[in-house]
Chains A and B, each alone.
Chain A
Amino acid sequence: MEERLYDLIFILRPDTPEADIDKVISTLEHAATEKGGKIDSVNKWGRKRMAYRVQKLREGYFVYMVIRSSHGEVVKELERRLKVSDPVIKYLTVRLDEELKRQDKLKRHRERRAARRPRKTVPPAPAMPGAEQPAAPTA
């Protein structure tokens, strides 16, 4: 089965000590590898203001990670762990591989069009000065 790519963002309570944040991340990494997935990157965005209040909190510590796996079990397990983990106040998983595929397709399409266009537009350009004068009386 082909590999899937997921974005996982979760928000921790802003008063969580740094050590606990690392602990949460490492347990998630552990759980992911156990289920046959892989965490590509972990990016701590740090304390940010949230757009609305969550559990009466206005700020949160954002962590963003990219996960690679071939089946959905990994995400299920990670979400379960996030749900039971106390410092986590919000999380979101988004499957990205299909959008990336679409993005690739569009890019290729555009490159092909860009490669074709110059051939069409270039020939008239040098012929312009000569062609312009005979064309003017007819018009």
Chain B
Amino acid sequence: MAEENAQQQSYGGGGGPRSSGPGGGSGGRPGGPAKRGKRNFVRKKKVCRFCVDKADFIDYKKAEILAPFIQERGKILPRRMTGTCARHQRWLTVAIKRAQNIALLPFAAEL
């Protein structure tokens, strides 16, 4: 997810003069290319990773599991980006915040 975000940003920055025409209006959604006329997005249904693994508990000690759910700047990614279900997102936030407290995950990226 974080990579996708970075890509988006780099498109916005580098491709500025190129996409000045129609590109600006589409809102930069990563879902897919908007077709002319009718907008038919083919968006893949995201599935909660923790539901797939049947996780009853998200361990705050495993930073490598939590890492994909934060941005490079250290923010927690919203559910709409990751597809995590409500229950698991709730557990995930708690786990990430605990990991931050014991310096396993950053609060904010250092410069």
- Interface set of A (CB-CB < 8 Å, partner B): 7, 9, 11, 50-54, 60, 64, 90-92, 94, 99-100, 102-103, 106-107, 110
Contact = CB atoms under 8 A, between A and B. Distances in A.
Contacts of B101: 92
Contact of A51 (B54, B61, B106): B106
Interface of B: 54, 56-57, 60-61, 63, 98, 100-108, 110
Interface of B is mostly: loop
A52 B56 contact: no
B98 A53 contact: no
A47 to B, nearest CB: 13
Classify the secondary structure of A's interface with B.
strand
A108 to B, nearest CB: 10
A107 B57 CA distance: 10
Contact of A52 (B60, B98, B106): B106
